[in-house]
Amino acid sequence: MQKQLKNLKVKWIPILVFTLFGFALNAQQTVTGKVTSASDGMSLPGVNIVVKGTTQGASTDLDGMYSINVPSQESILVFSYLGFTTQEIAVGSRTEINVALADDAAQLNEIVVVGYGSRKKSDLTGAVSSVNSKELTAFPLLDASQALQGRAAGVVVQSNNGGEPGAPINIQIRGNTSIGASSNPLIVVDGFVGAVFPQPADIASMEILKDASATAIYGSRGANGVVLVTTKKGSKGKLTVEINSNYSTQNTTNELDLLNADQFAAYQTTLNSGYTQGDANTDWQDLLYRNGSTQNHQFSFSGGSEKVNFYASTNYFKQEGVIVNSEFERISFLANVDAEVTDKLKLGMNLFGSRGNQDGVPTQSTGQTANGGGDDVVSLTFRFAPDLGIKDENGNNTINSVGDNVDNPYAIATEGVNSTKNDNFRANLYADYEILEGLSFKTTFGYSTRNQNFGLFRPSTLIVTAGGGTGGSATIQNLKNTNILSENYLTYNREVGKGDLTLLAGYSYQKNTTETFSAGAQGFTSDSFSFSNLGSGAVQLIPTSSFSETEIQSQFGRINFDWDDKYLFTATVRRDGSSNFAKNEKYAIFPSGAIGWKISNEEFMQGIEQISNLKLRASYGVTGNQGIAPYGSLATFGSVFTPINGQTVINVTPGQVANPDLKWESSYQTNIGLDIGLLDNRISLSLDYYNIDTKDLIIADTSQPQYLGFLNPASLRNVGEINNRGFEINLNTRNISNENFTWTTDFNWSTNKNEFVTLLNGEDIFQDASPGYFNIDRTHVLREGESVGVFWGYEYQGVYQGGDLPAGTGLLPGAEAGDQLFTDLDGDGEITPGDDQKIIGDPTPNWTFGITNNFTYKNFDLNIFFQGSQGGDIMNLTAVQLFNGDSNATTDILNSWTPTNTDTNIPRARLRGKEISSRFVEDGSYIRLKNIAIGYNLPLELVEKIGLDGVRVSISAQNLLTITDYSGLDPEVNFLGSGGSGNQNTFNGFDFGNYPTVKSFNFAVNLRF
């Protein structure tokens, strides 16, 4: 079943053939009409209209109306407007021409936000991808970061836990640059470093800074890339009020075909002749899964006078997950105000606040044998015996009749409480003063805070998870994080001959503090207390609390120099000091430089009409990653749970050894890019090649002898090097653009090769993603010359048919005919851990892509977005569990080997260890119809009659179609090891117990007045 997808790319070629063109022609004398935006039907004021080849022109008024005299029927009108595709229309015999202009994603004059400033897109020297507000709102998103998936080359976005309501989203730019430190990019919202994403509908644009030239201005936090988010601002003119509402229903994309009660009992009887069938027939998937829903309502208003403009919105989001009892609810607000106090002084403020309320169910097996992996409802749904009901004859929740004792998943989902509340608040003030012409000073002061309350309760009715008859257990955890940021910088701009010079110099200080507190108790007199009455518990667990603080102070500067609009030069430097690092290594300098050459502006290119833009870019620079916890370099004490004389007592134990030389990881990145615009930029193509060497990787030093006795036996150390190199393509085409019909295509494709160059002493680092009760130690390995987290295990050679062993193969101890045959790597005749295990798969995809087609026809528009991944392997741990004998199984088990059914790849039914082998490695390639949406803008005449400015309705579907050979539920897997605690950098491609991915159908209304 593996590797059959190799020739998949051939299937994709038809989808990639999209470049078609269409024009229409006509002519007359005085022409009037209205210009609107094709995407939302809004009238466009100030659109420039000229008669082609003349100086005759006009522009539209506030309502988008225009009137122009034309010399003849052969005249051609050219409609142009910033941010929209220029449209040429032959007049012909018409007197009224209404025009809908299409958005222009590839607009070269577009202003792109970069760190501490902005640049014209055509003047960029670095690798920057943009996602515009339209893409952000094309379909409902839980989190704005999801809009990056498939939209920007080199950016990988994945939910931490499938379709779980409120699950965090992970973003990775240009591969994994770290093992021990974070691999997530820096998020900067309206200049606030380290913010949370605002609501998608509040975002004007997102820029993804990828190469060192773009990110080095963020120094020791730039190595994983930077996402710059700019929220919407008001503009002069009348008040605009907008209401967006959408509602969607969701269900699981897929279910496993499990044995029913009779099949299950028959199967178990072959393993244990004494098995007695239970009297129920329960489809646990049916019980646990339901139709979920989301609703999202946003109300915003914006506007401005000559001197002051504002934008404010409030948003309500609610999701009922597809697993019973899982929900997420969020209320948020955002307000931006900007004021011109004088000609020279601008003041402004951004405010953001949100409350998220997540009621979860436990997923991602905690896998501790302590719980038998028994509190993960997703994997239990598959494991649990179908011949048991929810309650036994005594009215107690049933416990599995095979395998480890575990409570049934329905009881865990519905009776346990798992609640997380998150409050976020952020305020950012700025003042911008023009000291002299060309020289301005900007100062910002920001404050953000996050409060998280987590509560967990396991009632006494959950016999196994809560402990036999202990009266339930409850835990609360609080976290408070506060972030203060002050930034001050000067910007100087002047023209020098044919050149344009921009200088930036600044100082920044940021302080981040985190306080945590937790407490717990067991043995309550009533299950009704939940976690809200810890004091009544008979057994009090030791409360914990902690405080940590990180400071960063920096100086930074940048020079941009453009000569004759042909040669572009950028140099940046940032000096960062971070408290997280050791005494001897507090400061470092991160420089970068880049050049750009606008070849198309050279004399010799002027004759070539087809090429409208040609630019070569090259950059090199150093960025850092300081994403490790504070105090990592200090010698400390830790403590352990110490019961003495029936109670716990305070204690200390040596925690870690000091490392006075611990410092950040440094990435040395080269980027070479080419931007090509053809046929008046109807086709625009960007190509980027990059190479990133990340050195001084922070690795837990497991080479330190354990007899030293530290609580953390592997202290952090700067050893190791990782390399990422790749190639990215962004292609935007305007295939058809005329009065009634437009068709644009955005395509991106990227490939990233990731390789460990150096690891500590060249030694393999083995890791284990499997749930603890699997009782195996290794599922993947970090090895020099290999990519991150390649799978580790036996090589499966099919079913042993009895008799002589095929050459080079062997069996596990105790195996007989019908059991698994493995490659005997060391040739010693037996299969033993270590000696006969090897790399059996690589979860890193060869390439990923996204393709969006947008069509508009009159008032209709259609968005089709495919996204896919090719060549990444998946380790199907769910299948390891389900073929193991101590749980329910998929119907594939009915085809297992028997003396009369020998032509099968599935070994005989029996209880066996949960060995990891290539048998469970599958190709995880997929193509997914991420979104299909049809929108309709009500005709303006009709809308205006009811007193509105615009009405849009749309229906859409997400994840409607997935093409994959993967046998599990969904190829976008994200099991992060026991309790979801695994390292996101190195735990890739594991499928087990994560919340299912959902398919959704959505209806949305947008009103403007």
Partner 1 sequence: MKTYKYLFLLIGISIFGCSDLEEEPVGLLAPDGFFNTVDDIETAANGAYGHMTHEDFWGRKMSLTLMLRGDMVDIGDPTTSTRRIEHNEFNVPTDNGMISGYWLRVYQMIAAANQAIAGADDVNVADEIKNPMTARAYFARAFAYFHLVRQFGDIPYIDAPITDLEASSSISKTSAADVYANIIADLQFAKTWLPDTQIARSIPAKSAAHSYLALVYLTIGDYQNAYTEAKGVIDNESVYNLGLEADFQSLFDASQIDNSVEPIFTLDFIGASNGDDGRDYQAALTGLRDDEQYGLGGGWSVGVPSLEVYNTWDGRDYRKAVSLDTTGVFDGVLQPYQVFRESGAGRGVNRPHIAKYTRAIGETATGNGRGSNANYMMIRYAEVLLIAAEAHNEISGGSAEAMGYVNRVRARARNSNGVTSGLFPEDIAGLSQDALRDVILEERKWELAFEFKRWYDIARRQLGSDVFSASGLEGDKPNFDPSQDYLFPLPAQELARNPNLLPQNPGY
Residues between 136 and 155 with contacts to partner 1, criterion CB under 8 A: none
Query: 400 to 439, contacts with partner 1 by CB under 8 A?
Result: 401-405, 429-431, 433
Contact status, residue 590 vs residue 623, Cβ threshold 8 Å: yes
Burial 720-759 (b: 16+ CB within 10 A, else e): bbbbbbbbbbbbbbbbbbbeebbbbbbbbbbbbebbbeeb
Among 92, 438, 467, 557, binds partner 1 (CB under 8 A): 467
Assess 688 for contact with partner 1 (CB under 8 A).
Answer: no
SS (H, E, C) 191-206: CEECCCCCCHHHEEEE
Could you give the CA distance from residue 866 to residue 914 in angstroms, rounded to a whole number? 36
Tokens, residue 786: 């290999």
Assess 344 for contact with partner 1 (CB under 8 A).
Answer: yes
Amino acid at 277: Q
Q: In what order do the strands lie in the sheet with 820-823?
A: 796-799, 820-823, 809-810
User: Least distance (Å) from partner 1 to the CB of residue 591?
Assistant: 21
DSSP strand pairing (345-359 vs 499-522): unpaired
Q: At 706, is the secondary structure helix, strand, or coil?
A: helix
Q: At 709, is the secondary structure helix, strand, or coil?
A: coil
Could you give the CA distance from residue 865 to residue 928 in angstroms, rounded to a whole number? 8
Assess 814 for contact with partner 1 (CB under 8 A).
Answer: yes
Assess 466 for contact with partner 1 (CB under 8 A).
Answer: yes
Q: 67 vs 546, which CB is nearer to partner 1?
A: 546
Tokens, residue 635: 């010698």
User: Least distance (Å) from partner 1 to the CB of residue 504?
Assistant: 17
Contact status, residue 512 vs residue 481, Cβ threshold 8 Å: yes
Partners of 482 in beta bridges = 449, 513
Partners of 230 in beta bridges = 205
Stretch that binds partner 1, among 9-17, 596-604, 709-717, 895-903 (CB under 8 A): 709-717
Element (H, E) at 549: strand 539-563
Contact status, residue 889 vs residue 883, Cβ threshold 8 Å: yes
Assess 759 for contact with partner 1 (CB under 8 A).
Answer: no
Element (H, E) at 855: strand 847-857
Site string for partner 1, 906-925 (x = CB under 8 A): -----xxx------------
Contact status, residue 116 vs residue 95, Cβ threshold 8 Å: no
Assess 468 for contact with partner 1 (CB under 8 A).
Answer: yes
Query: 543 to 582, contacts with partner 1 by CB under 8 A?
Result: 545-549, 551, 553, 577-580
Assess 584 for contact with partner 1 (CB under 8 A).
Answer: no
Q: 61 vs 340, which CB is nearer to partner 1?
A: 340
- Sign of the torsion angle spanned by Cα atoms 274, 276, 282, 288: negative
Stretch that binds partner 1, among 631-639, 685-693, 819-827, 944-952 (CB under 8 A): 631-639
Q: 564 vs 835, which CB is nearer to partner 1?
A: 835
Among 367, 630, 789, 950, binds partner 1 (CB under 8 A): 630
Assess 964 for contact with partner 1 (CB under 8 A).
Answer: no
- Could you tell me the CA-to-CA distances from 322 to 259, 330, 366 in Å, in that order? 22, 18, 21
Let me know the angle formed at the C-alpha of 926 by 920 and 929, rounded to the nearest 5 degrees. Answer: 145
Among 18, 247, 445, 727, binds partner 1 (CB under 8 A): 445
Number of alpha carbons in the 13 Å side-chain half-sphere of residue 100: 23
Among 200, 374, 627, 868, binds partner 1 (CB under 8 A): 374
Assess 395 for contact with partner 1 (CB under 8 A).
Answer: no
Q: 670 vs 704, which CB is nearer to partner 1?
A: 704
Query: 638 to 657, contacts with partner 1 by CB under 8 A?
Result: 639-655, 657
Among 27, 111, 241, 345, binds partner 1 (CB under 8 A): 345
Assess 349 for contact with partner 1 (CB under 8 A).
Answer: no
Assess 703 for contact with partner 1 (CB under 8 A).
Answer: yes
User: Least distance (Å) from partner 1 to the CB of residue 650?
Assistant: 6
Assess 509 for contact with partner 1 (CB under 8 A).
Answer: yes
Assess 396 for contact with partner 1 (CB under 8 A).
Answer: no
Query: 739 to 758, contacts with partner 1 by CB under 8 A?
Result: none
User: Least distance (Å) from partner 1 to the CB of residue 33?
Assistant: 45
Assess 511 for contact with partner 1 (CB under 8 A).
Answer: yes
Could you give the CA distance from residue 48 to residue 57 in angstroms, rounded to a whole number? 7
Partners of 444 in beta bridges = 430, 487
Site string for partner 1, 241-270 (x = CB under 8 A): ---------------------------x--
Partners of 287 in beta bridges = none
Q: 514 vs 801, which CB is nearer to partner 1?
A: 514
Assess 770 for contact with partner 1 (CB under 8 A).
Answer: no
Tokens, residue 861: 């528009």
User: Least distance (Å) from partner 1 to the CB of residue 380?
Assistant: 14
Site string for partner 1, 654-673 (x = CB under 8 A): xx-x----------------
